[in-house]
Structure 1
């Protein structure tokens, strides 16, 4: 027999069932108790067997008496989802390689800097090796029979081919006018980390442009700072 939804009390069929907090919910009924934003298994926070979003989760401290297995699990989950834990993991894993999951803009910037440093180091070693080879050639005793220096001839031929070319003046291209932004503009009032691939992450104060309303709890827009486009919770932003 199919169970009933904990919110609307209607029958929950297997294709739309969410089993969480010892209850069964419709996917659309699994909402924050305060703002009614639709939640999922990655971004919900349970309190007193009720789902809440990160912004409206009741702030409470756990005592030695109230440290039940459920509260310990929720406390651990809240810590893992916090920005402090993310920064600690990032510092611990710095220099140990990058995975596809952790390709954040900050990690991409570090990878590019490391590639530039590697290229500079390679060129420095190459120039040193050239200087060492030249010094070894000068110390080599000369024989009566002249030796044909292939590298020198190739280098001379390359220099002969590298004749200066006349420079042609190219007028600068006219600036292309940026298309006007469509949709509304919002400003983030909380930090948000994307829980799904179709969502976007942003920081408090970021400007969200081209915003389109999807439903009561979600919007679709672009973070002006990073250029990322996707879904975002409506209760994390305010209209500009």
Structure 2
């Protein structure tokens, strides 16, 4: 069933029908309510579901309020309250400054680059710190090993004989510095750091060298032969790892 025109109240057929402002109109009936100007869907303006042209579109009228003593008092009170709130917010946020930075693709790229640089520097500092700690442990172990007061390196002192007894102490066994202890069942180690010999009874090696015929001396030192150079001597235990 065809609807009725909102202006002439006659049947509107599909060929001349305009659906606008929740109503149906003939194309010839779609006119301004004031000047009866013919309108279309591009130049009309609706107000309370009625069409108007641009010249006669109803304007919003503002109500003028007289400056009575009561209105002036309320205006002054509102102004004072606004100043109090502004001063309170100012004192609360005093010394604080906020800068809003837009998260653009360029800033995201710079942030990613800074994170990568920071991560690289962190690992670099970590490796330096690790190497320094290993070197300190090695120097401390070496110093303790060669100290005259170290119990591990001090010569054997026989106990004092009771009064009235006399005996000849056994001669102190002396191992030549160049003599190597017997091999320890073919134990093999790999060097994880470079090491330069500091004494005549030590052996130098490089990172990755294979050390064979290893004999454990104490917790800090070993005796072995570097397979690459075929040199043998003492070496720090924390510079190698078992294969």
TM-score by length of 1: 0.27
Higher relative contact order (CA 8 A, sep 6+): 1
TM-score by length of 2: 0.27
Higher Rg of the two aligned structures: 2
